[in-house]
A and B are shown apart, each in its own frame.
Chain A
Amino acid sequence: MSLIDRRPGLRVGLLLTPPMLWLGVAYLGALAALLIASLWTQNDFTGTIERSWTLENFKTLFTVEVYRTITLRTIGIAALVTVVDAVLAFPIALYMAKVASPRMQRILVISVLTPLWASYLVKAYAWRGMLSADGPIAWVAAPFGLHTPGYGLPAVTITLAYLWLPYMILPVYAGLERLPDSLFEASADLGAGAWTTLRRVVVPMAFPAIVAGSIFTFSLSMGDYIAVKIVGGTSQLLGNVVYDNQGAANNLPFAAAVATVPIVVMLAYLAAVRRTGALENL
């Protein structure tokens, strides 16, 4: 017997080392480097990073009002996108899981997945075209005396909700599919109508799945800056502040400090989700 066969501990160790290294070094290491960088400062003029420890970046982040506004706006957009996606995804997922024929079910799953194959940028620019002053939305709305919402926060919400919808549909669909059909029959036998069954049986049981989907839509929206650049008009979210400070002003330390905000918000969100017990039910 070889050494590997005789030592099960070694076997497990070898199996787990590469993924653990990946998680520990590349993932947590990058986060640690980010946090360290946020404690440095930058020479405003030359853009050279000065490696002396300071909390100056966080002081700016908390005391300058504009960053509070941007943080609240980002959380608001992320929450709105999540709600819109949940409202849109639930009926689609319910139809897919419980109503559609097996053939139709497959077609629907594929059509939900197909947009994920197209480039993010193409989809965002498609919405830039849709929302333009001479785009299709303006053309359809014109006979009713309406206008396109133009570029701005509504456009950002629409585009992000479109981009992340599959990430909400799929977990909700998976959650609903696990729901036994007998529960629907039992509910009907006990005299509940369709609406009551939906409200008191389906939604409570699908709730953990909706929460799982919301983790995707919320976190993806919290970090987005490209859609905002393309359809956001004059508005900016936290991602843009990070991008402008790193990509344009070359202020990596402050960009790192700003980047900790979405991390803290997501940790708070996950903690809140955990309290609902939704994570155990996944």
Chain B
Amino acid sequence: MRRIGSKRLAAVACVGVLALATACGTSSGDGGGGGEKAGEEQGGFTAPDVPMAEEVGDPEGQVNVLAWPGYAEDGSTDKSIDWVTPFEKESGCQANVKYFGTSDEAVQLMKTGEYDVVSASGDATLRMIAAGDVAPVNTDLLTNYADIADFLKDQAFNSVGGQMYGVPHGWGANLLMYNTEAVSPAPTSWGSVFDDASAYAGKVTAYDSPIYIADAALYLMNSQPDLGIKDPYALDEDQLAAAVDLLKEQRANVSEYWSDYLKEVQAFKTGDSVIGTTWQVIASVAQGEGAPVEAVLPEEGATGWSDTWMISAKAPNPNCGYLWMDYITSPKAQAAVAEYFGEAPANTKACDLTSDKSFCDTYHATDADFAAQIHYWTTPIEQCLDGRTDVTCTNYGDWTTAWTEVKG
């Protein structure tokens, strides 16, 4: 009797396991979302056919915002820093904000379909478009779109075949932050964290993401011209290997890698890190908390970001999503975000509203030539982005593996 009972139980358990396994096997199968109709093709991938909004209906009452830290401040960090509350009053949409630390994290979170809008950098945009996670944006529905700087529209990282997949938000450069008490004289080159990093052994920090390989590649462009690197995001196998070697040498002097911006602020405050890559907003927060730090743009130039607000293909609150995209690119919100985060606003009308009147000049907000000199985060793909056709470039998967190897 007992034996039979336990056999039955085992059978029930097996059925359960099978049900679970098959459930796994069929859920979210066609993430691509593309129907029989082939979408637009660009840069070696096909954009799935995702419908675009035709009109903005009644607000749903809330919007789930996925943003870079500092892009959606509601006064909880600093009482005077608040542009989310005015949006909530104006639109009737309660904004639920989640910050993310790396583009990889953003891509992964957008796959959940829980978020309406995302501030995506150029190394995430194409991946989201190709995966069918974001929808094309109907720019006619956005009142502020006309005021966005022209050199940010219809770029390779935010549009496919002339169709915008988002609205440009702002752009800037990754900076070199240093502790003014421990680092003297002030650094002028990325060499301080690469070839000369041993001067600060055990106190160097770097960004914990495969995209940081581009920072090494940018440095190699200048220090080893023989490698022939033209674009830090278009690396063939030899060039990637050289960048990886450089990063492995750097690792001996690194105290820790950061992807959580508060972790970097803390490490600079305690002196565990004294030099390394940063964003302007991190330097501002650290200075605000009394850390003796400065951030500079080294002579080699820098990698940087050009961010785009995109809307999810599965947005639960698409109307509030559009209202948010329109609000965050309005001159007033743009001025507030740009000054707080330390980047050039995409909406050039914001330049009249910044509290520091020379702000837009400092950040070259209207200077298309300057903007062209920053190497914006872009997803590396097999078709070399620098136009070479005689070699195959390494793709983001190769970079991810390489980054694991760098960390050892």
* Partner-B contacts on A (CB < 8 A): 8-9, 12-13, 16-17, 20-21, 23-25, 28-30, 32-33, 36-37, 44-49, 51, 60, 64, 66, 69-70, 132-135, 150-151, 232-236, 241, 244, 247-251
Contacts and interface: CB of A to CB of B under 8 A. Distances in A.
Given A24-B14, A46-B31, A47-B127, 7 more contacts: A13-B5, A24-B13, A25-B17, A32-B17, A132-B271, A234-B256, A234-B257
B141 to A, nearest CB: 27
A44 B45 CA distance: 12
Contacts of A64: 401, 405
Contact of A150 (B12, B14, B111, B202): B202
A6 to B, nearest CB: 13
B77 interface: no
Given A36-B24, A45-B127, A51-B25, A248 B102 contact: yes
A134 B271 CA distance: 7
Contacts of A33: 20-21, 24
B40 to A, nearest CB: 15
Contact of B108 (A47, A70, A135, A234): A47
A241 B403 CA distance: 11
Given A46-B131, A150-B272, A250 B104 contact: yes
A79 to B, nearest CB: 19
B373 interface: no
Contacts of A48: 31-32, 131
A248 B13 contact: no
Nearest to B252: A234
B270 A45 contact: no
B104 A248 contact: yes
Contact of A24 (B12, B45, B271): B12
A17 B21 contact: no
A21 B105 contact: no
Contacts of A133: 270-272
Contact of A66 (B14, B29, B270, B405): B405
A250 B210 CA distance: 13
A233 B405 contact: no
Nearest to B259: A248
Interface stretch (B146-154, B162-170, B224-232, B392-400): B392-400
